[in-house]
Amino acid sequence: MSRIGKNPITIPAGVNVSVDNSLVTVTGPKGKLSREINPKIGVKVEGNEIKVINDNKEPQYNAYHGLYRQLIANMVEGVTKGFEKSLNVNGVGFKVTQQGKDLLLNIGFSHPVVLKAIDGIELTCDKTVITIKGIDKELVGQFAAKVRNIKPVEPYHAYGISYTDEVVVRKEVKSGKK
């Protein structure tokens, strides 16, 4: 049995959870999220707690047990608090501007890069900081990874796009002949 899967999820005030066969729907003050789960993993709502139940003895279902428990917990947290990722843009002449809901990145290419905003994501930007907010943790993380992948940080001058909490290991520049 999964250690994470055994822990119940507390439902905060103002959040409604409904389970219909293998579809779990969580509704809260920030929005509504739904997820289809494996039919062999059970979900029960008892009072103000959600319990994920696994009756299978196969090892793969132990992994699913913990996975689905955490996915449902992320859904509950998303509709109450939301998720946020921020990225730093570092480089000489690099800047980020917002055109409506889209991002316009001037990051050292011969052309500006335009990133279209997707539904469920709210983008805000300063000159060198991009903030991505949303209720779906998976969507926020995927979009942040997509933005970062346009120009990853290079290790010599740390130019590029990085997460604000990311540690960039700097390399030493080559020295002259000895």
Partners of residue 45 on adjacent β-strands: 50
174, pLDDT greater than 90: no
Is the pTM higher than 0.85? The answer reads yes
- Please report, rounded to a whole number, the percentage of residues in the chain having pLDDT higher than 70: 97
Partners of residue 26 on adjacent β-strands: 17, 33
* Residue 63 to residue 61: CA distance in whole angstroms: 5
108, pLDDT greater than 70: yes
Question: Across residues 76-92, what is the average pLDDT?
Answer: 95
What's the distance, CA 177 to chain centroid?
Answer: 47
Q: Cβ(161)–Cβ(150) under 8 Å?
A: yes
Domains and CATH numbers, the chain: 3-80 (3.90.930.12), 83-163 (3.90.930.12)
Question: Would you give the end-to-end CA distance of the chain in angstroms?
Answer: 61
pLDDT tier at 3 (50, 70, 90 boundaries)?
A: confident
Partners of residue 159 on adjacent β-strands: none
**What's the pLDDT at 43?**
93
Question: Across residues 7-31, what is the average pLDDT?
Answer: 94
